[in-house]
A and B are shown apart, each in its own frame.
Chain A
Amino acid sequence: MREITLSQAVNEALAEEMRRDETVFIIGEDVAEAGTPFKVLSGLVEEFGTARVVDTPIAEPGFMGLAVGAAMTGTRPVVDLMFGDFLFLVMDQLCNQAAKTHYMSGGKLTVPLVLRTNLGATRRSAAQHSQSLHALVAHIPGLKVALPSSALEAKGLLKTAIRDDNPVVIFEDKLMYNDKAPVPEGEVLIPFGQANVKREGRDITLIGTSSMVQVCEAAAGILSAEGIEAEVIDPRTIVPLDEATLLASARKTSRVIVVDEGHQSYGITGEIAARINERAFYHLDAPVLRMGAMDVPVPFSPALEDITVPTPEGVAENARRLVRGEMIHAA
């Protein structure tokens, strides 16, 4: 199968959906000729023109609000938010408006909008361009949240998101734009709420999101050499969450580590760990561990930044200790 980069996958998904549905348009800062700073959208304005690949002023709340109104009245905007950190700027329009309109109108109005943004540290971009803020939006009912872990998911989830009648926030890992993965030619649609079991194992379950799926797979490789077989699961969307697959794996292996690049406290790892604890408690042979990003603003210095995110070695070490039955935290 051909291999394409995550960046190309996003580009293809947008182009295909814009050809299929003329109400789909892209809006954001420097999305047209510039094709975004990451060059993800290069070439789209040439095909679809500036009426559908719309460059905006640097006014995130403004174009976010505009997109909400556009979505309510018959179009399908794909908003490009240059950095995930800028979510804080658009929170009212995203969380008070887009997320609640369908509910507040008793189901009369819909907001079929996609917000594409990114996450991921270790790009030496410091605290205001490195955050992984998906937990913030996953907290808000009415929003769906997708976290592609490779080019395949980036394409399949984005196309599904564009066809969804609800506001969907997709977080791409900005460090993975040039990572290649096999993506079949032709239609690729990945349904929401279906986790992907990336690797089967009997001893421990590693649940990873976005780029942490790679981290979990690398950890599973390390562990396998030691005779520990880890199961690796990528939820792919955290809202909706495929609880059944996660619980089945937890019951099978009886040990779980949840790995996510958002801050560890009050985050995705805690939410998934709590659900497993509530619904698979009597099958657990060890506490469910959370491994998120360190609870500090992302530092600039490489020496500091690299230690803030989970690593394969760190995941493997925790997995080893769980499998050995060590008391990770004093009882």
Chain B
Amino acid sequence: MAEARTNTEDYLRMYRQMVRIRTFEDNANQLYLSAKMPGLTHMYSGEEAVAVGICEALKVADKITSTHRGHGHCVAKGAAFREMFCELLGKEEGYCRGKGGSMHIADQSNGNLGANAIVGGSMGIATGSAFTARMLGRDDVTVCFFGDGATAQGLMYEVMNMAALWKLPVIYACENNGYSEYTRTDEIAAGSITARAEAFGIEAHQVDGQDVLAVNALTQDLVARARRGEGPFFIELMTYRYHGHHVGDINREYYRAKAEEQEWKETRDPITRFRGWLVEEGIASEDEIEAMNEEIRADAKAAVDYALAAKYPDTSEVDMHVYKGVTHALA
């Protein structure tokens, strides 16, 4: 654990954001299991310290690109429960007016350029966002979230090459949760993941993705350096997903043992560990933390209830937003 610092508010916000992600996912899972949610979704539970540790090191104007397992990034970058649940349920008040759903939530007001349902599909976008910052003289940094599975995509190597050539302010954040969909990572990734970036001369780090303070401290440093034109950087965050690849991936013992899941939950849970540290350091009492958890649960319930009752978009919206500047593309 990193040294205790004096910024109590920052620590409490990090804790709060991690609990918000976990609570959001618990509700999303329930919505899916109770057949109230269309489509499917991928749970971020277990990886909260990665999204929160990184996003707490970013300004609102900094950009992120997200993945199919993107709720955590979205919450961590500042999104509201109500619009998120509305989007998950395909409602008009969702972040994307119900047109994107779980895998495409974008919240550009908070710098979230959107989740992407193509594995590795957003690596170009993140690099391009960094290119804009450099070309227009902005000091934004862009973080590209992707999983260990996406390291198998060729696009990553093409854009890391360009980012390194042009020293773009982008941080490639590889969330290594040990599994590429239903396959162990060591079965799909030869050699070292960080060495992939190092081959391009990109400074690469590996960090415990269950330790929010460690993730945050590293990111603070890299973001500051990226703003100074020292980028790009690469981080491999060692983490774990508690659920299957997607919500319906229940019987998964053929690729992952229950005992392994149990061990990560009991000994390496990022929220439990950080909560213990907060109490130990006297930053918050158990009661205060319980009150915070309860408040978040109530927030989530209210948002879910609101979203369930919210209206679907009018069917006339089906051909809207195909083209900017054209109200109805098929009119």
Q: Which of B95, B97, B162, B324 contacts A57 (CB 8 A)?
A: B162
Bound: A64/B121 CA distance, A? 11
- Whether the pair B96, A104 counts as a contact (CB closer than 8 A) is yes
Give complex CA distance A96, B119 in Å.
12
| A130 touches B (CB below 8 Å) | no
A67 at the A/B interface (Cβ < 8 Å)? yes
Instruction: Tell me, yes or no, whether B209 is within 8 Å of chain A by CB.
Output: no
Select A105's contact among B100, B124, B136, B161, beta carbons within 8 Å.
B100
Also in contact, A73 and B129, with CB within 8 A (given A61-B158, A63-B162): yes
Q: How far is the CB of A191 from chain B (nearest CB, A)?
A: 12
Complex contact B136–A75 (CB within 8 A): yes
CA distance A65 to B121 in the complex (A): 8
Chain B residue contacts of A64, Cβ below 8 A: 124
Scoring B residues 95 to 129 as 1 if CB is less than 8 Å from chain A, else 0, what string do you get?
A: 11111100010101000011010100111111111
Q: What interface size band does chain B fall in? A: 35 or more
- In Å, the complex CA distance between A59 and B155 comes to 8
Residues of B within 8 A of A69 (CB): 65, 113, 122, 124-132, 142
What chain B residues lie within 8 Å of A142 (beta carbons)? 322-323
- A70–B129 touching, CB < 8 Å: yes
Distance, CA A93 to CA B116, complexed state (A): 11
Q: Is the CB of A175 closer than 8 A to any CB of chain B?
A: no
The one of A52, A101, A141 that contacts B114, using a Cβ cutoff of 8 Å: A101
Which chain B residues lie closer than 8 Å to A51 at the CB level? 135
Contact with A along B130-162 (1 / 0, CB 8 A): 111101100010100000000000110011011
Residue of A52, A59, A68, A108 touching B125 (CB-CB under 8 A):
A68
Chain A CB within 8 A of B46 CB: no
Please tell me if the beta carbons of B99 and A71 are within 8 angstroms of each other in the complex: no
Is B311 an interface residue, CB under 8 A from the partner? Answer: no
The reply to whether A70 and B161 form a contact with Cβ atoms under 8 Å apart is no
Task: Enumerate chain A interface residues (CB-CB to B < 8 A).
Answer: 23, 25, 51-52, 56-57, 59, 61-75, 77, 92-93, 96-97, 101-110, 112, 141-142, 144, 164-166
24 CB < 8 A contacts A-B: A57-B165, A59-B158, A62-B159, A65-B128, A66-B159, A68-B124, A68-B125, A69-B127, A70-B128, A72-B128, A73-B133, A75-B132, A92-B121, A97-B124, A102-B321, A102-B323, A103-B99, A104-B114, A105-B321, A107-B97, A108-B95, A112-B324, A142-B323, A164-B325
Which residues of B does A touch, CB under 8 Å? 63, 65, 94-100, 104, 106, 108, 113-114, 116, 118, 121-133, 135-136, 140, 142, 154-155, 158-159, 161-162, 165, 320-325, 329
